Amino acid sequence: MDLQPVLDDIVATLEPQLGAGKVASYIPALASVSPRRLGIALRTREGAEYRAGDANTPFSIQSVSKLFTLTLAMRHLGDTLWERIGREPSGNPFNSLVQLESEQGVPRNPFINAGAIAVADRLVSCCDSARADILALLSSLSGETIVFDEEVAASEASSGFRNIALANFMKSFGKLDNDVAQVLDFYFHQCSVAMSCVQLARAAAYLCSDGRHPLTGEAVVTERQARRINALMLTCGTYDAAGEFAFRIGLPCKSGVGGGIVAVLPDTLSLCVWSPGLDETGNSLLGMKALELFVARTGLSVF
Kindly tell me which of 105 and 115 has the beta carbon lying closer to ligand DON. 115
Q: Radius of gyration of the chain from Cα atoms? A: 18
Kindly tell me which of 65 and 209 has the beta carbon lying closer to ligand DON. 65
Rounded Cα–Cα distance for residues 234 and 226 (Å): 12
Rounded Cα–Cα distance for residues 279 and 164 (Å): 24
H-state helical runs in the chain: 3-14, 65-77, 98-102, 113-126, 130-142, 150-159, 161-172, 180-192, 197-203, 223-236, 242-248, 285-298
Rounded Cα–Cα distance for residues 231 and 74 (Å): 14
Report the residue number whose CB is nearest to ligand DON: 63
Tell me if residue 225 falls in helix, strand or coil: helix
Give catalytic residue positions. 63, 66, 187, 239, 257
Kindly tell me which of 44 and 199 has the beta carbon lying closer to ligand DON. 199
Rounded Cα–Cα distance for residues 38 and 260 (Å): 10
Kindly tell me which of 65 and 142 has the beta carbon lying closer to ligand DON. 65
Kindly list the residues in this chain that would bind ligand DON in the complex (CB under 6 A).
62-63, 94-95, 113, 156, 163, 191, 255-257, 282-283
